[in-house]
Structure formats: structure tokens, C-alpha cells
A = this chain, B = another copy of it.
Amino acid sequence: MVKKRELIGQTQSKIFEAATEVFEEKGYTGARMQEIADRAGINKALLHYYFRTKDQLFMAVFHVLLKKMFEKILSIFMEEATFKEKMRRFLDEHIEFLIRNPKLPIFLLNEISRNPAMAEGLKETLQYAQLRDLIYETHSKELKGYGIKKNDMPQLMITIVGMSVFPVAARDMMAIMMPQMNDTRKFNAFMQERKEFAAGFVMTALKNRKK
């Protein structure tokens, strides 16, 4: 009978989920401990019992979300496949991920820009040195042939990631000029089309480069 343990887990999970919701919606400065407690269906004092301060609770949530985002981006590029295959899989899976987590990009961009030091801890967790090596390996094996200079690899990577992330981050801004984006069904359809559009766009741009 591990009832108690389960309950601990339940309460802590409820808090964590509520905190994730509120922080994603309102950001650190806009979030209120009271609202997190309310959404978790508990007392505010209990919040401080499990997570001593707002900062601690926030950091716990932030790190999970940051890792979630980066792991999704990195894991695919780590796989053994051609650049083209990796890029297609990345766009497919990452866009699916973003449709399920539409508030994540703005939240992360905003919080990291508010305090860049917060992301420090992640450098070790995600073996980014390993990824950097892999990117340059991909370059010398495949992309050199496309006329991409080693120097341009950051440009290319940012472009690909931006293809999926930017529309999600800028959705409400786009909606000023394209009101159809306010309709979530239509926006999701737009993102579905984007998988093919982006992959085709990048591959065409690469294949036909002047070398």
C-alpha cells in the first residue's frame, strides 16, 4: 500500500502541471503563486511546502521545458541518416511537437532573453559539443557538395529551426495581417502544409546553389 507516496506524487504533479500552465501563459513576472495554487486545487502554503520559493518552482518548470524543446530538436539531428532525411524528420516531428506545445517557443525565448544565465545549466546536459561536431561532419560529408561553406552552417541551421518555430511564435502577430490564423484549425492546417513547404524549400535552395 504505497498510497502516501502516490499522493505525494499526485500533489507534486498537480502543482507542477499547474505551474507549467501558468508560467507558460503569463511568464515568470506575470505568474502568481496564488493562481498556481488555485489551478492545482491546493493551498498556497502547500505550494511553498513543496517548492520553497517562486524561483525554485519556476526553475524546475523552466528546466523541464527547455530540455523538452532542445531534446526534440537535437535527438533527430543525432540520428544516422542523410541530411535530407534528417531535415524532413525534424520538420515533421518538430512541427507536430509545436502544434501540441504552441506556447512553448515564446515562453522560452522570453525567459531566456530575460535572464540568459538561466540556460547555462543546459550546456552540459545536452552534449552540445557532440552536436556541433556532428553538424560539421554533416557539412564536410554532404553539404559541402551543395556549395554550403562551413562558415554558413549556423545560417542554415537557424534557417531550418526558424522555419518551424517562427510561425508558432509569431502566430498572433501574423494574425494581425492574416485573420485566418486566429482560427486554430486553420493555423494547424497551415503548420501541416509547412512540413512539406519548408522541406521542399530548403532542399531546392540547397540543390541549386552556385558553388
Contact = CB atoms under 8 A, between A and B. Distances in A.
Interface of A: 26-30, 70, 103, 106, 108-110, 112-114, 116, 119, 122-123, 128, 131-132, 152, 154-155, 158-159, 161-163, 165-167, 169-178, 182, 190, 193-194, 197-198, 200-202, 204-205, 207-209
B169 A109 contact: yes
A177 B128 contact: yes
Contacts of A162: 162-163, 166-167, 170
A154 B128 contact: no
B116 A106 contact: no
A145 to B, nearest CB: 15
A175 B118 CA distance: 12
Contacts of A113: 103, 106, 171-172
B119 A172 contact: yes
26 contacts: A26-B114, A27-B29, A27-B30, A27-B114, A29-B29, A29-B30, A30-B30, A113-B172, A123-B176, A128-B177, A131-B177, A152-B197, A154-B178, A155-B194, A155-B197, A158-B174, A159-B197, A159-B198, A159-B201, A161-B170, A162-B170, A166-B166, A166-B169, A169-B169, A202-B205, A204-B208
A176 B29 contact: no
Nearest to A30: B29
Instruction: List the number of copies, as a whole number.
Output: 2
B170 A116 contact: no
A79 to B, nearest CB: 17
Nearest to A128: B177
A182 to B, nearest CB: 8
A206 to B, nearest CB: 8
Contacts of A114: 26-27, 30
A109 B170 contact: yes
B163 A159 contact: yes
Contacts of A208: 204, 207-208
